[in-house]
Amino acid sequence: MDLFDFLTLLGGLCLFLFGMNLMGTALEKRAGSRLKILLGKLTNKRMFGFLTGLGVTAVIQSSSATTVMVVGFVNSGLMTLRQAVNVIIGANVGTTVTAWILSLSGISSSNVFLQLLKPSSFSPLLALAGVILYMMCKSSKHKDTGLILLGFATLMFGMDTMSAAVAGLRDAPAFQNVLLMFSNPLFGMLAGLVLTCIIQSSSASVGILQALSTTGQVTFGSALPILVGMDIGTCITAMLASIGTTRSARRAAVAHLLFNVIGGTVWLGLFYLLKAVVGFSFVGDTVTPVDIAVINSAFKLLSTALLLPMGGVLERLAVRLVPDRAGSKPDAVVQLDERLLSTPAIALDRCRLVASDMAETAGRAVGNALKALDHYSDTLADSVRADEAAADRYEDMLGTYLVHLSSRPMTDADSAGAAELLHIIGDLERISDHAVNLLESAEELHGKGIALSPEAQRELHTLTGAVTETLQHALDAFLHNDLQAASLVEPLEQVVDTLKEQLRSRHILRLQKGSCSIEVGFVWSDLLTNLERIADHCSNIAGCVMEIAHSSLDLHGHLRELKTGSPEFIRQYQAFARKYALV
């Protein structure tokens, strides 16, 4: 093997790793909503968690990515440690799919059908289809499918390039001596561990071993410990990802390491024990890419059979290795974990959950502020201000996270969803601000010992009733994606606008008659303004929900169309106008 063969090997390795990364990223993006559905149905049932981990890893072609995702879920409180253990075990089996795909490169037959199964035969066709889909289609789904095909073709081309580059090692004594050294279980495991720690992908490491096996010099005795080491080495990604996380998240990463270490040492130790007692003649036989896929799958299935029923034991071991410190407080749940950004669909779903908490906080602030207008208390005042401060924190946290998320590759639907949330959290924050403004009006009335006239109180209760219903429909529309509730917000908002003008005019008449003071008039004006603006923000929220449902972000155009040409809008407006008519 000369310098040029080495450069060819290096180029093939780069193409192989790039193709695997490209295919995995595109698969993850294409299957984002399906991943969300799968992971959203997690329970403590052992087999369901195992199958979930297996399925997700088979889809995204990376157990490391799945495990990092799991660490993020545990850190965010979306998954318990028990659930994480089951998913991690499934992920270890799911990653064997890649080795089986790569083993197709070893097919050698004169049969035309079998020849077509060889990647070198169909990869060019996949690359052609991928280029057509990626360059000529406008749909993001078609483009993602094209990237999947291009990634797979690049991966297989890199695999073939590596196999061709190492072909010269077939008769190299130095290479044979190195492989003979790896027959030592300790050296073999160490080699596999180091390689996978560097690449951070056991699938890629196994692929490199399969390429080397085409030389005909890799034996069963050297491949087995290397594969075990690779399986342990893949834990490095999750261990690094767990730095700075909660104890539960670190325990999930440790559980992953324990599974691979215990499974590897038990079965490898048992194998060499039986070899010493019985003697296995096949240990010196050379292996093919298919043999490596078989060994890899058999080893992981055996580890699963041993440790899946012992998930509770793994959990307790992880807790013992990452113990609670004496007198320490429980870890605070990280609401938006940066690790979830690698799976945009899941991260966006988490953002929706946090934004739902923000919506409930803003709604509670308005409710308590309105109560303070009738029955002021320091407790209500403190509650409103605490909720407004919490809404500010939510907006800062969600806004920053969504901006980072928007820079990640996402489907059109997820991009629109992120834009929707950015609009909505701004409206929710402003609603909480207006709640504080209402509270300040209540404080002014209470502090100065002045009160609204009975007539003004009746009118205000009519307006606050309309605003409260508007807010409730807007929150229902957002929290439950309720389009029916969303359709009721705009006619109600128009009723609120009308009521505001009517109340302003009636107040002027009371001023002229001397039945209301100018001092109360300033407070009255502030109340009307803030209540009307709360309804405006509710209209924005409902409009966003409806526009996303219709795959459009032209909010103002949608509202104009709704107000000017919809008989249903007119009917609803008239019904609400009668309901909130002033006496």
- CA distance to 426, 488, 571, per residue, from 574 (Å): 30, 12, 5
Helical H segments across 375-482, by residue range: 378-406, 412-448, 454-480
Q: What is the pLDDT of residue 531?
A: 94
* Cα–Cα dist 479/486, whole Å: 11
pLDDT for position 112 = 63
pLDDT in the model for residue 66 = 77
**Structure confidence at residue 565 (pLDDT):** 55
pLDDT value for 331: 52
Virtual CA dihedral for 441, 442, 444, 448, nearest 10 degrees?
Answer: 150
Cα–Cα nearest to 179, from 220, 228, 218:
218
CA distance 175 to 123: 30
CB atoms within 10 A of CB 397: 16
pLDDT at residue 469, rounded to an integer: 94
Taking 70 as the pLDDT cut, the residues of the chain under it are 1-2, 28, 31-44, 59-61, 105-120, 167-180, 325-334, 550-565
583 CB contacts (<8 Å, ≥6 apart)? 458
* Separation between Cα atoms, residue 209 and residue 226, nearest integer Å: 9
The distance of Cα 92 from the centroid of its chain, to the nearest Å, equals 20
- What pLDDT is stored for residue 541 in this prediction? 92
The two tokens of residue 485 are 């509730």
Going by C-beta distance under 8 Å and a sequence separation of 6 or more, which residues neighbour residue 154?
15, 16, 18, 19, 22, 23, 127
Instruction: Spell out the alpha helix ranges (H) of 31-118.
Output: 32-40, 46-60, 63-75, 81-94, 96-102, 112-117
